[in-house]
Amino acid sequence: MKTSTEILLVDDNPADLDLTTEMLSRGEFSGRVRTVNDGAEAIAFLHGQGKYAGAQVPDLIVLDLNLPKKDGRAVLADVKNDPALRKTPVVIFSTSQAARDILGSYELGANSYVSKPGDLQQFALAVKSIQDFWFCCARLPKEEKQL
Amino acid sequence: MSAAATVAHDHDIRPPAGHGKLRVLLVEDNPADIELVSRELRRGGFDLTMDVVETEEEFTARVRSNSYQVVLADYNLPQWRGLEALNVLRNEKLDIPLILVSGALGDVSAVECIKQGAMDYVLKDRLARLPVAVLSALQEKRLRDERQRAIDDLAKKVEELARSNRELEQFAYVASHDLQEPLRMVAAYTQLLAERYQGKLDEQADKYIHYAVDGAKRMQTLVQDLLAFSRAGRQQGEVKETDCNVMVELAIANLQVAIRESGAQITYDHLPVVLANSSQIPQVFQNLIGNAIKFRGPKTPQIQITAERQENEWVFSVADNGIGIAPEYCQDIFVIFKRLHTRTEYPGNGIGLAICRKIIEQNGGRIWVTSQEGGGSTFKFTLPAAPGFRQG
Amino acid sequence: MQSSEVDILLVEDSQDDMDLALHALRRENLANNIFVVRDGEQALDFLFCREAFAKRSLDHPPKLVLLDLKLPKVDGIEVLRQIKSDPRTKTIPVVIMTSSKEERDLVNGYSLGANSYIQKPVDFDQFRNTVKQVGLYWLVTNQAPVINGVVLQTTR
């Protein structure tokens, strides 16, 4: 029995959060979209700390790299080094196309790296691809978990 | 024990022409010789101030405390070899011409003295030559100083220019890089506005939104192109032997879609190995081939890439059968953002050739084009040949 | 001239599944640089550039490894473990494609660092579609890491 599917968006740009959420709803994403604005919030959320006590671990994390407080790399490292969290797929979603950022993300254990396109249509396509692959094609590790 | 030697003016001798003040340091122990030198120099037209020393210590002390224009030294002194004054001058980093004034020595020694750094050699029984020798030495020193000043000035200007260039490049890079993010917001949200409200407000509003979206999109591509231009030539990589066949293959790999859609046929054969930054060269071929495909006429694009050796460089030709370029524009097209057509005729911001030129010039080459309107174009550029390689 | 570029390494011991996968990828023009190995040992040799694959370079890894779990010689989980624990190969995207329904394989796979986990559909058509989606996502949407490479921007 599947619990409600949940995606966590981590991005400091509210415009991008809105854009991604909008594209997900156009793609008829039926799960819940949670958003946080900086790395520290992301880590608190994922560990169920403070105001996020009791929050469930998301099925998929979509993570920008350049964040205030703790940046995306720190969040990624935190997730992938934690035995309880490491199986959660993390998709880096960033405007950076620098080879160093891409390689660095994989080295920290990112599952996937998708470039945020500058064009709206391409952006919509990118979000749709992420949604289609991770929620309709791949199997996610959390699904069979009972509450 | 030294004092400025003053000699009473000899009123019978009028200096032939005034050569102005002259400050001399004389290394000499014989009073008669001192007198002779002094008189000869005044007779030669110099307004003379002369100090006399006999030992190395005195010499060193003098050159440290006063400034002299010329040093005259006797070769044979009881305590010291006059020529060794050259060493003192060198140690004190003083560039003062030294003229040996001495009794007869063999020819061998004269040459030896010049080799060791003496400017000239005047025999004591030929002292009449001394003024001329001094003049010569002073002139040569003056020329030397001028040349050095010119070199220093040039070096300073070059460094300033390099620094200014670096700052400009940095600025262009940072500006275009940082501009992308806000532009992305403007472009995305004007488009979202368009999608949401097109047809729901009045016609004016539709038009305004359309112009805003169009402007935003164009700004985006402009900034991306500026960034690409600013990056061109900044790629890491050292100059090394570069196989141009591989370079062309890399370029072609990136043009697969355009090649497929146009049916373009590209031929290249046995291109040479050059000395260049191999991370930059594929971009040159990619832009040239890409242009040849883009600016095609009714015919299927046919592109030939060849190379010809000319002395120490290879001259590459990328020839196409496209729409050609009127000769009066053949220089302009390498200027950044220069276009010859409207955006509706052919897409693009006019940056490809500017990037090519930047890369080629940075790699020590030149780039130009020969063409006629309607008659295809041949783009040529040069790159240094790699020593030890013949045509591949 | 043969380039050493391999985009996809398909690790599959079932002939039928291999044929289907290749067919599906070819239809999407994704099969241009695909290499197939039939057991876990070969997969490791290929990725670590040793034995029969000693001429390959660790600087040019495939963009994607499609890894079956039930393999002869060395099984898929062990292959995954070795790839993901070696710094030279850990950044290579590995997608498990298996018919196994074991929950343990799913959790283990992700925990060991598999980039994704796909269950092979039983249905012929669905299988093809799944392979197509996998290929499109990992070769087009996803940015593969480039090691010491020159990333050229493709002409718009």
What is the widest separation between alpha-carbon atoms in chain B?
114
In this complex, do A120 and B188 lie within 8 Å of one another by their Cβ atoms?
A: yes
- Whether residue B282 and residue C154 make contact (CB cut-off 8 A), yes or no, is no
- How much is the average pLDDT of C82-93? 95
**Phi, psi angles (nearest 5°) of residue B104:** -60, 130
List all chains that touch chain C, counting a touch as 3 or more CB pairs closer than 8 Å: A, B
What is the token pair recorded at B48? 């003379």
Q: How far is C153 from chain B (nearest CA, A)?
A: 8
- Cβ-based neighbours of A111, under 8 Å, separated by 6 or more: A89, A90, A91, C115, C116
Residues β-bridged to residue A114: A93
For residue B321 the two structure tokens come to 């059968």
Interface contact flag, C115 A102, Cβ < 8 Å: no
What pLDDT is stored for residue A28 in this prediction?
87
The answer to whether the CB atoms of A15 and B191 lie below 8 A apart is no
A15 touches chain B (CB under 8 A): yes
What pLDDT does residue B391 have?
Answer: 59
Specify burial of residue A33 (Cβ count, 10 A radius: 0-12, 13-18, 19+): middle
Q: Which chains touch A (3 or more CB pairs under 8 A)?
A: B, C
| C-alpha distance from C127 to closest chain B C-alpha (Å) | 28
CB atoms within 10 A of CB B333: 20
Strands of chain B (E only): list them: 21-27, 47-53, 70-73, 98-102, 120-123, 239-243, 265-268, 273-277, 302-310, 313-319, 367-371, 377-384
Flag the least confident range among B5-19, B162-176, C58-72, C134-148: B5-19
Contact residues on chain C for A137, CB-CB shorter than 8 A: 118, 130, 133-134, 137
Residue B166: other Cβ atoms inside 10 A: 10
Give the pLDDT score at B17: 57
- Please give the pLDDT value at position B178: 85
Q: How far apart are CA A32 and CA B316, in angstroms?
A: 59
Hey, what are C52's tokens? 């029969």
Point out which residues pair with B122 in neighbouring strands: B101
As beta bridge partners, residue C9 has C35, C65
Candidate from B37-41, B169-173, C79-83 with smallest mean pLDDT: B169-173
Average pLDDT over residues B335-364: 86
pLDDT tens digits along B284-332: 999 999 999 999 989 899 999 999 999 999 999 999 999 999 888 888 8
Q: ipTM beyond 0.95?
A: no
Identify from C92, C131, C143 which residue to disrupt to test chain A contact, counting A C-beta atoms within 10 A and taking the largest count.
C143
Model confidence at B352: pLDDT above 50: yes
Measured between CA atoms, how close is B237 to chain C, in angstroms? Answer: 10
Mean pLDDT of the A34-44 span: 94
Task: Determine which of B230, B256, B278 to mutate to test the interface with C (most C C-beta atoms within 10 Å).
Answer: B256
Average pLDDT along chain C: 89
Any CB–CB contact under 8 A between A15 and chain C? no
Buried b (16+ CB within 10 A) or exposed e, A118-131: bbbeebbebbbbbb
Per-residue pLDDT, C5: 80
pLDDT band of B201, cuts 50, 70, 90: confident
| Model confidence band, residue A118 (pLDDT cutoffs 50, 70, 90) | confident
Residue B228 binned pLDDT confidence (cut-offs 50, 70, 90) = confident
The pLDDT score that the predictor gives to residue A22 is 92
Quickly tell me which residue has 């050739």 as its tokens: B353
- C118 DSSP β-pair partners: C97
Provide the pLDDT confidence category of residue A75 given band limits of 50, 70 and 90: very high
Location of structure tokens 């990619």: B286
pLDDT at B108: 58
Whether B198 shows a pLDDT value over 50: the answer reads yes
Q: Which residues of A83-114 are buried (b: 16+ CB within 10 A; e: fewer)?
A: eebbbbbbbbbbbbeebebbbbbbebbbbbbb
Q: Look up residue B302 and give its amino acid.
A: Q
Q: Where are the beta strands (DSSP E) in A53-111?
A: 60-63, 90-94
Q: Is the pLDDT of residue A147 over 70?
A: no
pLDDT band of B392, cuts 50, 70, 90 = very low
Tell me: pLDDT of C119 over 60. Answer: yes
- Which one, of B341, B328, B324, lies nearest residue B379 by Cα? B324
pLDDT surpassing 60 at residue B104: yes
> Which residues from A are below 8 Å from C91, CB to CB?
103, 106-107
Q: Which of A55-64, B313-322, B344-353 comes out lowest in average pLDDT?
A: B344-353
Q: How high is the pLDDT of residue C149?
A: 53
Question: Which region among A2-11, A119-128, B65-74, C95-104 has the lowest average model confidence (pLDDT)?
Answer: A2-11
Q: How far apart are CA B344 and CA C133, in angstroms?
A: 35
Residue C131 binned pLDDT confidence (cut-offs 50, 70, 90): very high
Helix, strand, coil in percent for chain C, rounding step 5: 40, 15, 45
Distance CA A86, CA C112 (A): 9
Encoded amino acid at C150, one letter = V
**Higher-pLDDT residue of B166, C71:** C71
B94 closest CA partner among B56, B58, B68: B68
What's residue B31's pLDDT? 92
The B residues from 259 to 288 touching C (CB cutoff 8 Å) are 279, 282-283, 286
Helix axes B352-362, B203-231, angle to 10 degrees: 10
Highest mean pLDDT among A105-109, B94-98, B229-233, B279-283: A105-109
Check residue B18 and give its pLDDT.
65
CB contact under 8 A, A103 and C147: yes
Contact C137 A99 (CB under 8 A): no
Residue type, C30: L
User: What is the per-residue pLDDT for B165?
Assistant: 84
**Is residue C120 over pLDDT 60?**
yes
Nearest CA distance, A121 vs chain B (angstrom): 9
Interface contact flag, C155 B286, Cβ < 8 Å: yes
